[in-house]
Amino acid sequence: MTSAVPAHEIPDVVLSHSGDDPITPVWLNDVGGITYRLGEGPSARYLKWQPPTDEVSLSAEAHRLLWAARFVACPTVLDAGYDESAEWMLTAAAPGDSAVFTPWLEHPEITVPALGRGLRRLHDTLPTDACPWTWSPAERISDARSRGIDVQLEATDAPTIDRAVVCHGDACCPNFLLSDPGQVTAYVDLGSLGVADRWADIAVAAMSTEWDYGPGWERPLVEAYGVDFDEERMSFYQRLWDST
């Protein structure tokens, strides 16, 4: 959201790609990266910029978007690059508005079931056997420890896999775009996309409903996804998310 981005100097790479289009900072992520909207309306473009970090790779995201775009609606990669101070990725606008923007934020009774159905459609559509990436608990724990995080969970703590799917990798509510009448029309922030148990996504999506809409929306999301609520898998994958 624009209000979440503090005043700052616009990076040169953003200025060089904006041309005569207005520049609007729209999102600040947890590692100091900023997403800018260049222009307005359907022809707008989005430039994600961030300082070097081991946690998030825009190069990895660009590769995953190029693959996923063959099967589902997601941002079209127009350009990407890096230098010693930052990396960046330019994409075309995807259809819809974030699930945490107006009007969807004010109507969780419409938005949350749409998110559950949209996540299920993503899992049912992306071909697991053709996906080049994985997102297993072992990989996530190893990566977190390599970044100095003291993860108390072990991969052997993971429940047996319910169903292996191509997971979004960051299935929080802001990363789903919706349009009238409350249908998911595109997916964004696919930098961790990979094959894993579907509960790795379901648990995070359900947990994020409380952050964005308040308590009481976890079960409606799972119900709309179309599975029974699984306390064991929900608990493990939420703890894994918080730990890594």
The CATH number linked to 238 is 3.90.1200.10
Q: What is the pLDDT of residue 2?
A: 43
Domain boundary among 40, 67, 92: 92
> Distance between CA atoms of 29 and 16, rounded to whole angstroms?
22
Q: What is the pLDDT of residue 52?
A: 86
Indicate the number of domains in the chain.
2
| 79-132 pLDDT tens trace | 999 988 899 999 999 999 999 999 999 999 999 999 999 999 999 999 999 999
Q: Which domain holds residue 43?
A: 2-92
Q: Mean of the per-residue pLDDT values for the chain?
A: 95
DSSP bridge pairs for 194: 167
Q: Is the pLDDT assigned to residue 3 strictly greater than 50?
A: no
Together in a domain, 85 and 137: no
Q: Which two tokens stand for residue 15?
A: 């200025």
Domain boundary among 30, 58, 92: 92
| 141-176 pLDDT tens trace | 999 999 999 999 999 999 999 999 999 999 999 999
Q: What is the pLDDT of residue 55?
A: 85
Active site residue 230: no
Together in a domain, 115 and 236: yes
Domain boundary among 39, 67, 92: 92
Q: Which of 98, 100, 74 is nearest to 209 (CA)?
A: 100
> Distance between CA atoms of 192 and 174, rounded to whole angstroms?
15
Question: Percent of the chain having pLDDT more than 90?
Answer: 89
Together in a domain, 188 and 84: no
Together in a domain, 194 and 238: yes
Quick one: average pLDDT of 174-195?
Answer: 95
Q: Kindly name the residue from 170, 189, 201, 212 that is annotated as catalytic.
A: 170
Together in a domain, 122 and 169: yes
138 contacts: CB under 8 Å, gap ≥ 6: 155
Q: What is the pLDDT of residue 75?
A: 96
Together in a domain, 86 and 140: no
59 Cα distance to chain centroid? 15
CB atoms within 10 A of CB 145: 12
Together in a domain, 70 and 107: no
Together in a domain, 79 and 9: yes
